Amino acid sequence: MTDGPIRTRREGGVLEVVLDRPKANAIDLATSRQMGEVFRDFRDDPALRVALITGAGEKFFSAGWDLKAAAAGDAVDGDYGVGGFGGLQELPGLNKPVIAAVNGIACGGGLELALAADIIIAADHATFALPEIRSGTVADAASIKLPKRIPYHIAMDLLLTGRWFDAAEALGWGLVSRVVPAAELMQTARNLAAELAAGPPLVQAAIKEIVREAEGMRFQDAMNRVTRSQFPTVERLYNSEDQLEGARAFTEGREPVWKGR
C-alpha cells in the first residue's frame, strides 16, 4: 500500500515499512507523525508479529531530520507524533520485534531510527554518522543509546567528532548484527522477519519488556520482578496456552503451534 512518503506491505505476520521521501528519505513532522500511526497500528494489530523498516532506493536509509523543512518553518520542537521522531523512538508498549534493513546512508536521525529497532541488518555499502555536533546541536536519542550499545570510548568518538564510519566498522563494534551484499539485503531481512513471525509472540513480548524495563534497574530487582511475574507480559506468558504448548511440543518431539494466547 502506498500512502504519501510511507509505503507498507503485509506478508503474513510481517509488516514491511518503506520510507520513501526523495532525495534523502529525510523525515519532517508530517512524515514522523504518519510513521507513528503506522507503528502504533502495528503494535495494536494481533495479526502482525514483526515489523521491517527500510528506505526506498539504494543510496539513503534516511538522512534524518529534514533540515530544509525546518528552515521553511517545520519547527524543530514540534509534535513528532505518537511514537516520537520516526514513529519508534518513544512508542509505548511496543513488545513486538522490529528489524531495520539499512540500505544506504543512515545519518543523524536516520541512524537514531535504526537504533530504535531491535535488530539492524546493513548492506555492505551502508555508511553511518551522527553529524549533529557540526551544526551545533545534540544527537539526543543517540547520546542516550549509543554508549549502552557499543564501547563508551567508541560511542564518544562518534558523538563528539560526527565522523563517518562504514558497515564493516559498525559490525565490528556490534552496532549492526549482520552485513550483507546490497542485492541480498531485503531477502535476508525478510527471511529473518518470517523466522521471527513464526516464533512464540508471548515470549518475544516478554523479552522486549524485560530488556526495556530492566535497563534502569538493579540486576536483583529486575530478576525479582521476572521470577515473581511482575512484568505484565511475563505474567501473561506464564498463564498462557502457549506456555503449555511449548512444553508439550518439546516432550512430544514436534514443532509447537503458537497461538499467542
For 82-126, what is each residue's pLDDT tens digit? 999 999 999 999 999 999 999 999 999 999 999 999 999 999 999
pLDDT at 21 over 80: yes
pLDDT at 1 over 70: no
Give the torsion through C-alpha atoms of 182, 121, 187, 254, to 10 deg: 150
DSSP 182: G
Record the cell numbers describing residue 167, joined without a space: 558497515
Residue 98: name the closest of 82, 110, 113 by CA: 113
132 is catalytic: yes
Average pLDDT over residues 53-71: 89
Which of the four pLDDT bands, split at 50, 70 and 90, describes residue 74? confident
Choosing from 11, 132, 184, 213, the catalytic residue is 132
pLDDT at 19 over 70: yes
Rounded to 5°, angle at Cα 246 from 245 and 252: 85
259 pLDDT more than 90:
no
| Confidence bin at 224 (pLDDT 50/70/90) | confident
- Mean pLDDT check: name the lowest of 32-41, 92-101, 235-244: 235-244
Reported as half-sphere exposure (CB side, CA atoms, 13 A), residue 91 has a value of: 26
Q: Average pLDDT of 58-76?
A: 81
| Per-residue pLDDT at 95 | 96
Residue 253's pLDDT band (cuts 50, 70, 90):
confident
Q: Whole-prediction pTM value?
A: 0.93
Residue 2 has pLDDT above 60, yes or no: no
pLDDT of 147-198, one tens digit each? 999 999 999 999 999 999 999 999 999 999 999 999 999 999 999 999 999 9
Q: Over the stretch 121-151, which tens digit does the pLDDT of each residue have?
A: 999 999 999 999 988 889 999 999 999 999 9
pLDDT over 70, % of the chain: 97
Peptide bond preceding 23 in cis form (omega within 30 of 0): yes
User: For the chain, what percent of residues have pLDDT higher than 90?
Assistant: 72
Write down the pLDDT at residue 125: 98
Q: What is the predicted pLDDT for the residue at 75?
A: 65
Looking at residue 226, what is its pLDDT?
Answer: 86
Which residue matches cell numbers 551545533? 136
Q: Name the catalytic one among 37, 58, 112, 241.
A: 112
